[in-house]
Amino acid sequence: MTPPTPSPRDNQPKRTVSIIGTGSYVPEKVLSNADLEKLVETSDEWITTRTGIKERRIAAEGENTSDLAAKAALAAMDNAGITADEIDLILVATVTPDMFFPSTACFVQTKIGAKKAACFDVSAACSGFLYAIEIAQQFITSHTYDTILVIGAEKLSSIVDWTDRNTCVLFGDGAGAAILQHRSGGHGVISTFMGSNGELADILQIPGGASRSPVTKDNADQRLNTIKMNGKETYKHAITSMLDAANRALADANLKSTDLACIIPHQANLRIIEAIASRMDLPMERFVINLDRYGNTSAAAVAIALDEANRTGRMQVGDYVLLIVFGGGLTWASSVIQW
């Protein structure tokens, strides 16, 4: 057999990948715990003590996931100082795409005018943003692309069962974005880890509305096209999986938890974050938290928190930052970044 012809990429050294800008956007409308008391049998006291959530944002009529995503993207481009024509690839992590197809990334492309970009969506539920960061990193490391826009965006208000108090109090809408590029100088994504367990698909899912159970009047009446969650099981797996992901990314980066300037965890429940902090032996002040204001925004959660940490100076150049996510699939992931 003749050996394959070497590609021009074969001789190039792997490149380090940096997050050179971040952005986020949340809709204007605030839905407070007091507002939810009027919708379902719940209380501000129950929601606050069980989850830490005080309010969440809800997209306006006609405001779609791609609108939230495009606003976050424009803020990230501004923060990075790049123009739309520099973007080679757009990745949108979402469980609430505008449509099954085209991808939400294609809608974002048009909205921001990134004409030369290739576009696709990433489906990994709440873990999608870190999965997309890892995909972007591989494309840049391998010299395939130079500049990649990664977005986590959700309009979860469109898939929430507003009659189910077990879930409707937890979720909100929003988007966060990051621009990734090669930068020399030692900083960037140092290590990443991704895990999945499809055997636990049934503890957190939207069972209807797709090809297995297309929309019919009957399954719409049963609200099968909304989020179904076994909260207790999800809670348990969230803690163990996020801790495992954190430990693996830290070990791979050759770092200890005490080396971290801050940790940006998935924003599902304050008690989950407290359990992780306690098991990592770290003070809560080290964790970036915004779930009190936005609830769980799935793939957007860590992306929004990363942008807020960036803009409020929580991360200084050279700091080590750990991102950890968990979601339906089950899926989970982590990433150590030197800012």
> In the complex, which residues of this chain contact ligand ACO (CB under 6 A)?
42, 46-47, 50-51, 125-126, 165-166, 169, 204, 231-232, 234-235, 238, 268-269, 272, 296, 298, 326-328
Q: At what angle do helices 270-279 and 231-253 cross, to 10 degrees?
A: 40
Contact predicate 322/273, CB 8 Å: no
Annotated active-site residue in 266, 269, 290, 310: 266
Q: Is 22 helix (H, G, I), strand (E, B) or coil?
A: strand
DSSP letters along 127-167, please? GHHHHHHHHHHHHHHTTS-SEEEEEEEEEGGGT--TT-HHH
Closer to ligand ACO by Cβ: residue 149 or 204:
204
Q: Which residues are CB-neighbours of 49 under 8 A, at least 6 positions away? A: none
Minimum distance, C-beta of residue 126 to ligand ACO, in the bound complex (Å): 4
Minimum distance, C-beta of residue 150 to ligand ACO, in the bound complex (Å): 18
Backbone angles phi, psi at 267, to 5 degrees: -100, 75
Closer to ligand ACO by Cβ: residue 110 or 197:
197
From 82, 83, 110, select the one nearest 92 (Cα to Cα): 110
Backbone angles phi, psi at 255, to 5 degrees: -125, 160
Residue 328: half-sphere exposure toward Cβ, Cα within 13 Å: 21
Closer to ligand ACO by Cβ: residue 230 or 257:
230
Cα separation of the two ends of the chain: 47
Q: Which residues are CB-neighbours of 10 under 8 A, at least 6 positions away? A: none
H/E stretch holding 324 reads strand 320-327
From 204, 201, 237, select the one nearest 325 (Cα to Cα): 237
Minimum distance, C-beta of residue 174 to ligand ACO, in the bound complex (Å): 13
Q: Which residue in the shown chain puts its C-beta closest to ligand ACO?
A: 231
Minimum distance, C-beta of residue 156 to ligand ACO, in the bound complex (Å): 7
Bridge partners (DSSP) listed for residue 153: 175
Minimum distance, C-beta of residue 25 to ligand ACO, in the bound complex (Å): 19
Annotated active-site residue in 126, 168, 237, 262: 126
Q: Reply yes or no on whether 225 is catalytic.
A: no
Closer to ligand ACO by Cβ: residue 20 or 300:
300
Q: Reply yes or no on whether 296 is catalytic.
A: yes
Closer to ligand ACO by Cβ: residue 47 or 140:
47
Q: Reply yes or no on whether 119 is catalytic.
A: no
Q: Identify residue 197 by its one-letter amino acid code.
A: N
Minimum distance, C-beta of residue 159 to ligand ACO, in the bound complex (Å): 9
Closer to ligand ACO by Cβ: residue 46 or 120:
46
Which residue numbers are catalytic? 126, 266, 296
